Structure 1
Amino acid sequence: MRPIDKLAVNVLLISKAIDETEKVTKTTPKTDNGYFYMKNDALYVKFDEIDEHGTVHTLIKVSNGKALIQRKGHVSMNQPLVKNEEMAGSYSGPYGEMNTSAKTHKIKALWDSHLKQGWIQLNYELHVQGQYVGHFDLTYQISPY
């Protein structure tokens, strides 16, 4: 794959949220169609999440122990992630814009250029407006469309 060739992919997101009582509050598998590409040693996955409220355009970027989650639509999010660090971000939704911070425990990515499939794992604790909202474990499984 040349650096900016976009590959049409299916993106299966397996999202697990753990609340402050250490209970798994939600495990959600969800599949969307999107694109995978590589640029400047970074992996990018772009896809649209569609629900009853509309469409949210999502971009996941992973490079050298760092990641970025960007979402734009009826909810918006800009959350940088750096392993073993706490990073400030923002979230905007029905209740307005809020400050976020994430302490990241795991950022892993694997891409097999021959099989044209791979995965991204992100694991972090999220605070919104200074309040702990949960521990999130996200796995994006990426396969050819």
Structure 2
Amino acid sequence: MTQNQQAHIPVNIHLTTVIEHEGEKETYELLLPGEFYEKNGTCFLKYDEIQEEGTVQTIVKFSENSTVILRSGAVNMRLPFNKKEQMNGSYTSPHGTLAMITQTKQLSHSHTYKESQLEGTFQLDYHLLMQGTPVGNYTLKITFKSM
């Protein structure tokens, strides 16, 4: 396999989301299986979340200066992030589609292969607006390790 075309590697994912809004702080944590792969210099993490509405497949696509979080299934969401500019996204549920805007504060990621073990981290800090209204400051941290 070439550097640009790697296998899908099964990984254990630890996902932490912290939301701060109007002085309140909420933390959510998930441990779930997923997969990691690289294609043409872009990294991908793929996992499924089971929610009340049903299963949501999530793909986190990240490169040096930008990221896109794509969710499909019970909900559909496209949330792009760029270090240099605010980005427009959308969230679609059975109740309709909402316009979202992300303002990226910090974006970092790294991964290494040690003795055929993959380990990596991904962190994203951003401010989110929904329909033009601020809904909070989000910190998303993902650590992943091959199974």
Same fold, TM exceeding 0.5?
A: yes
**Paired residues, what number?**
143
Matched, 1:105 2:84: no
- How far has the Cα of 1:22 moved from its partner? 3.3
Tell me the TM-score normalised to structure 2 length.
0.92
Matched, 1:88 2:91: no
Question: Which residues of structure 1 form unaligned runs of 5+?
Answer: none
Spell out, residue by residue over 1:11-58, the C-alpha distance to the aligned partner (whole angstroms, 9 max, x if none): 111000000x2321x101101211100111111100101123210000
**How far apart are the structure 1 equivalents of 2:45 and 2:126?**
19
- How far has the Cα of 1:73 moved from its partner? 1.1
- For residue 65 of structure 1, what is the aligned residue in structure 2? 65
Seen in structure 2, the aligned counterparts of structure 1 residues 99 and 121 have a Cα distance that, compared at 3 Å, is same
Q: Matched residue of 1:113: which SS?
A: strand
Task: Indicate the RMSD between aligned Cα atoms, in angstroms.
Answer: 1.3
**How far apart are the structure 1 equivalents of 2:68 and 2:49?**
17
- For residue 30 of structure 1, what is the aligned residue in structure 2? 30
- For residue 141 of structure 1, what is the aligned residue in structure 2? 143
- For residue 47 of structure 2, what is the aligned residue in structure 1? 47
- For residue 127 of structure 1, what is the aligned residue in structure 2? 129
**Stretches of 4+ aligned residues off by more than 4 angstroms:** none
- How far has the Cα of 1:139 moved from its partner? 0.4
- How far has the Cα of 1:67 moved from its partner? 0.4
Q: One-letter code of the match for 2:62?
A: V
**How far apart are the structure 1 equivalents of 2:87 and 2:140?**
17
**How far apart are the structure 2 equivalents of 1:54 and 1:8?**
23
**How far apart are the structure 1 equivalents of 2:53 and 2:39?**
32
Q: Is the 8 A contact 1:84 1:105 kept in 2?
A: no
Spell out, residue by residue over 1:94-119, the C-alpha distance to the aligned partner (whole angstroms, 9 max, x if none): 42111100000111001012230101
**How far apart are the structure 2 equivalents of 1:78 and 1:53?**
18
Tell me the TM-score normalised to structure 1 length.
0.93
